[in-house]
Chain A
Amino acid sequence: MSRSRTERLVNLVICLLSTRRFLTAAQIAATVPGYGHDPADAREHEAFQRKFERDKADLRELGVPLETGTDSVFDTEPGYRIGRRDYALPEVRLAPDEAAAVGLAARLWRHAGLAQAASSGLRKLRAAGVEVDPQATLGVEPVVSAEPAFEPLTRAVRERRAVRFDYRTPAADEPATRRLQPWGVVSLRGRWYVVGHDEDRRATRCFRLSRFAGPVRLVGEPDAFRPPEQVDLIDYVAHSFAEPAATRTATVRLRAGAGNGIRRQAHAVDGDVVRLRYSDVESLASRLVGYGADVVVLDPPELRAAVIDRLRPIASRAGTASPSEVSS
């Protein structure tokens, strides 16, 4: 079953690659084995048409560039052919170390769909004559992964179609539906983001792929927008999540031998008194509070107050054990 179908498809590809003229469906039926039927018999003809439609869809799904057209203005029925130049992978010559890099890269994906795409891509390179050593390593191994939203979003970027998706932020109780014209997908320090024009906010926005809830829907027509050329997507994301420059200085006292996480980030150490640079009072307060009595803020007063404010509600909660009762 599958074998005769594959045979027919291989013969169809060979036939359409070998022709310069466009071949009509009727010419193909008369030529390629497996399509033979009586065109005068309506039922047979309809069965052929269904079969041929399905085969064309299969070829396109596989990435075979099926051209449709006519050779002259007098031809009334469109025909088909496959342009050799569009079909064939261009010449690729990889030096052994380059081939090793590609072979390694193809193994890095921790994402089923993309891992499969990477290995079928690699098989095509092998078919182009590239020899890949499956054992090659480069001494470091990044783990490459992506969330399920990656595939539909990259397709939308490719087709320049708008997307609609539900997005969950920690601050909101329910995911909110967002509409975006996606310009690109970027990975910054191990996290994936999509950047584009937010149709509701009417402004450039980026979204974390890990916060997508549910499927990504492609909406509207292809080529619906033109991404701006001058926006560096990675810089945009890096800037959106950048911490402000640490321009302020705090002075804290550490208990001897404790508060090591703070000590090693200090920019100046004088015995057990250390100085830290910071930008945001609340985030430093949150970090310092974690060390309990091991870290005491001496200066500035606003940081000291922020730490005390955080301690009070915890201290007033139930609990009578002394810290030493918990072993670590």
Chain B
Amino acid sequence: MSAATDRLGRVLNLMPYLLARPGIRIADAADDLGVTAAELRDDLQLLWVCGLPGYGPGDLIDMSLDGDTVTITYDAGIDRPLRLTPDEGLALMVALRTLAETPGLAHRDAVERALAKIESAAGEAADTAGRVAVRGPADSDRTAEVRGALDRGRALRIRYYTAGRDVSTERVVDPMRLLTVGAWSYLEAWCRRAEAVRLFRLDRIDQLTELAEPSAPPPQAQPADLRGGTFRPTADQPQVTLLVDRGARWITEYYPCEQVEPQPDGRWRVRLRASDLTWARRLVLGLGADAEVVGPPELASAVAADARAALAAYGID
């Protein structure tokens, strides 16, 4: 969109916005509309010289600028915002539907009412949106319990299964927020054992007790930025390189990989970060003949030794 079109959209929207709010402070309007006060004043200057054909004093848009407030006194017919474009309607409706499908939502009815109203206001834009559907993860009792603890501001004692290390541990956590990323719901909380913010996948919380003491995350407990997903590879995590056959290529869709390189022999060389080598051993063993460890060497030998030990357990040498 050109700068002029962009600005046209902005000023056409500004008129009805101001009409609905006589005497609004320019700074507040600018905040609300995501522009600077200077840009907004400039837009007002522009509108002031526009109007109905004839372009006489009674035809031009008029307003009273009183210090830092503004009131539109004549709108020249620009009294309503433009309709939502198909993309605007779609973006709002898909986000509302995702919200409505989110487990543990406190005010689902408000989201559903809002969605119905946006759909009816969007008109034709809603037709396509009707063909863009969203179904979220299933709601569970666990979600309701965690939601309750968040609402009451209480700490939780949980028994949590850490898949990376295949262990369950008890810990006391200070809940911060409930999140849904992809197929899973998570509790983000301050973990008093780890003394850090942690994400707990709700389906891996095996036991949960709400404590009488309040949830009190320390000031340094900041919500995580989850734009890149819930697994944030870090340099201190072991780097694993595998050569995978066709049958194991699915891992490149399932886990975040740092590098995927097809090889002349048809295998793919895959590099990824493992949260833990225990996890990597389990992954590689599960892939069987379809994966070969390139590195680290201790993973290769551990996997081979694991397999021999397992065969021994079946009475096979």
The residues of A with any CB-CB pair to B shorter than 8 Å are 2-3, 5-7, 9-11, 13-15, 17-18, 31-33, 58-59, 61-65, 84, 86-95, 97-102, 104-106, 108-110, 113-115, 117-129, 138-144, 151, 154-155, 157-158, 170-171, 173, 183-191, 210-211, 227, 233-234, 238, 258-261, 264, 286-287, 289-293, 296, 304, 307-315, 317-323, 325-328
Contact = CB atoms under 8 A, between A and B. Distances in A.
B86 to A, nearest CB: 6
Contact of A7 (B46, B103, B135): B46
B85 interface: yes
A151 B86 CA distance: 11
A319 B16 contact: no
B306 A323 contact: yes
A41 to B, nearest CB: 24
Contact of B316 (A3, A93, A308): A308
Contact of A123 (B33, B80, B151): B33
A210 to B, nearest CB: 7
Given A89-B81, A123-B33, A151-B87, 14 more contacts: A14-B50, A14-B52, A15-B53, A98-B113, A105-B92, A121-B85, A124-B88, A185-B132, A211-B253, A289-B288, A307-B314, A308-B311, A311-B310, A326-B281
Contacts of B276: 328
Contacts of B178: 139-141
B302 A186 contact: no
Contacts of B16: 127-129
10 contacts: A6-B46, A108-B99, A138-B106, A144-B94, A189-B183, A292-B285, A293-B306, A313-B289, A319-B304, A328-B277
Tell me the dominant secondary structure on chain A's binding face: helix
Interface string B136-174: 110000000001001100000000010101111000000
A143 B226 contact: yes
Given A141-B179, A189-B137, A292-B306, A88 B82 contact: yes
B128 interface: yes
A274 to B, nearest CB: 15
Contacts of A322: 305
A73 B246 CA distance: 68
Contact of A143 (B94, B179, B283, B314): B179
Nearest to A171: B246
Contact size range, B: 35 or more
B165 A328 contact: yes
B92 A122 contact: yes
Contacts of B47: 10
Interface stretch (B62-70, B115-123, B192-200, B208-216): B115-123
A286 B250 CA distance: 13
A129 B79 CA distance: 11
Given A138-B107, A187-B135, A10 B12 contact: yes
A314 B307 contact: yes
Given A62-B8, A234-B135, A90 B310 contact: no
Given A99-B114, A102-B118, A191-B183, A9 B4 contact: yes
Nearest to B244: A170
Interface string B69-91: 00000001110111111111111
B7 interface: yes
A320 B308 CA distance: 10
Given A117-B85, A117-B90, A184-B132, A7 B49 contact: yes
Nearest to A124: B81
A127 B17 contact: yes
Contact of A323 (B96, B127, B305): B305
A62 B8 CA distance: 8
B113 A6 contact: no
Nearest to B266: A173
Contact of B50 (A10, A289, A315): A10
Most central of B17, B55, B276, B311 by chain A CB within 10 Å:
B311
B95 interface: yes
A212 B137 CA distance: 24
A318 B184 CA distance: 38
Contact of B5 (A58, A97, A98, A171): A58
Contacts of B113: 95, 98
B91 A118 contact: yes
Contacts of A108: 95, 98-99
Contact of A189 (B135, B226, B278, B292): B135
Given A114-B87, A142-B102, A190-B183, A89 B253 contact: no
Nearest to A15: B53
